[in-house]
Amino acid sequence: MTTTQKPGLRPANPHFSSGPCAKRPGWSPAALENAALGRSHRAKIGKAKLEQAIDLTREVLEVPADYRIGIVPASDTGAIEMALWSLLGERGVDMVAWESFGEGWVTDVVKQLRLADVRVIRAPYGELPDLGGIDFDRDVVFTWNGTTSGVRVPNGGFIPADRKGLTICDATSAAFAQKLDFAKLDVVTFSWQKALGGEGAHGMLILSPRAVARLESYKPAWPLPKIFRLTSNGKLIEGIFKGETINTPSMLCVEDYIDALEWAQSIGGLDGLVARADANTRAISDWVAKTPAVEFLASVEETRSNTSVCLRFADPAVAGLDDAGQQAFVKGFVALLEAEKVAYDIAGYRDAPPGLRIWCGATVETADVAALLPWLAWAFATQKATLKAAA
């Protein structure tokens, strides 16, 4: 990367943020004209919209018919917390973490729930833990796609079909871009603002029959606030999974989610979504292969995310800086791109190693990714020249 001449072509859409993510191509506020605004979510029209969102989720994600799907408050965090606080404690737990959100769930289980029998299986940013070391006779909590590290599990093959414990999977940057093996997953959570570019504050909770059986047979030793309660008198609150949300949802956001799901259907459903994300990531991968100054944070190709693509600078002039120096380089780098209105919010996550994180989910156009790449070369050359002048 040596050029300091600005490229002539800019991305048509500069939104490469990893959440909230880019809206689907062609989106405009007109997509929300049929929202049930000013109506109760418990009225016939409100409940119908919520049921439609659940049904479309099942169709697009190819969720088995006997799995429950519920809309819950507080985004993916709310959904995963409901699962952790409602289901864990019946047996020992293996917590699997290789980036900041997985570490967050470790903190909740170890320091907040304070479960006595917890094993933590970790790997540093850019790597995947030894999945063979997981004991599936225990409950297991893991992220399918490490949003802040760009490392994902390649598939569900590491999970046995005859497991005794439950698998609780935070899939918020994987759903709608990667094939989830639902037969191996008992709890799946995600949020609307990730791979479909929906609006924030709402989460999705998907439960297998095994998870439902646990909810109805096991009562945690700790009190559960109303917002976490999934059972009543020892039985699942079925209404949650039929559009009767625990608290008031935004019907404007519900309409936006429905619009995104209908768009997903129009491009071929899950296969179409995965293909678009793969094409976006392939464009970056081809560029990295011929650009020595950068490299993937995830060193193993099989475990690289096709949504939250994380890069770091391999050029000795940058890689040789201390952490603060690299962070300053990244800050200047992304400021150049934002000033040119070619890329917003692509700095790596605050807890991750200094670098870039470029969202490549299905709502991003491959042509925009391709247009961004020369600008990355320009920003690097410009920022490196600034670094050299300051030396």
| pLDDT for res 60 | 98
Tens-digit pLDDT profile for residues 322-335: 999 999 999 999 99
Q: Are 191 and 172 in contact (CB under 8 A)?
A: yes
Tokens 């600078």 locate to: 313
Mean pLDDT of 20-32: 98
Distance between CA atoms of 5 and 28, rounded to whole angstroms? Answer: 34
More confident: 389 or 191: 191
Q: Are 105 and 80 in contact (CB under 8 A)?
A: yes
| pLDDT for res 69 | 98
Strands lying side by side in the sheet with 356-359: 294-296, 308-313, 356-359
Tens-digit pLDDT profile for residues 255-278: 999 999 999 999 999 999 999 999
Mean pLDDT of 363-391: 95
> Number of C-alpha atoms within 13 angstroms, CB side, residue 52?
19
Residue 85 pLDDT grade (very low, low, confident, very high; cuts 50, 70, 90): very high
Q: Is the pLDDT of residue 390 over 90?
A: no
How many CB atoms lie under 10 A from the CB of residue 179?
Answer: 13
Q: Is the pLDDT of residue 17 over 70?
A: yes
| pLDDT for res 102 | 98
Global pTM exceeds 0.95 = yes
Q: Is the pLDDT of residue 3 over 90?
A: no
Distance between CA atoms of 292 and 294, rounded to whole angstroms? Answer: 6
Q: What does the mean pLDDT of the chain come to?
A: 97
Mean pLDDT of 291-312: 97
Domains of the chain with CATH codes: 29-265 (3.40.640.10), 269-390 (3.90.1150.10)
Cβ-based neighbours of 302, under 8 Å, separated by 6 or more: 154
